Amino acid sequence: MIKIEVTGNTIPELADKLLALGANLRGNAIVEGARAAVNAMQVLEVAEAASVDPTPAPKSVPVAEATESQPTTTETSSTPAPAALDFDTDVAPHVLAVVQKLGKPAAQEILSQFGVEKASLLDPARWPELVTALQDAI
């Protein structure tokens, strides 16, 4: 019997983790799937190392005031937009690789350089920097 426990701070975060785990298990043999599940759990341990903020969210949020939007142009930008990264396929595998090769403390140290304890809490705009740092560490 294989028991897998997946935790998350929000339902969408939990759903993302379960989908990633399912995707890993679907393409591999049972043994490989179990190994991927163990590896995924190590990544989740690193990601879940942060304590949960016990402060409850406010019950109501003030209504935002309407603001004028900036005018749009038809000119194209000369600088290409950075390619969007997917956390589960582009970021988490690099965290996992560092955990496997260098250990959990090394991964936590890299994450702390970005001011987060969980990779999933990092601003997606900084994911390319994180991936580069993780790759450089290996």
Write b or e for each residue in 37-51: b if 16 or more Cβ atoms lie within 10 A of its Cβ, otherwise e. bebbebbbebbbeee
- Span 91-119, pLDDT tens digits: 999 999 999 999 999 999 999 999 999 99
Alpha carbon separation from 70 to 30, 64, 77, 134 (Å, rounded): 54, 17, 16, 37
- Span 63-88, pLDDT tens digits: 666 666 666 666 555 555 556 789 99
Residue 31 has pLDDT above 50, yes or no: no
Decide: pTM greater than 0.75.
no
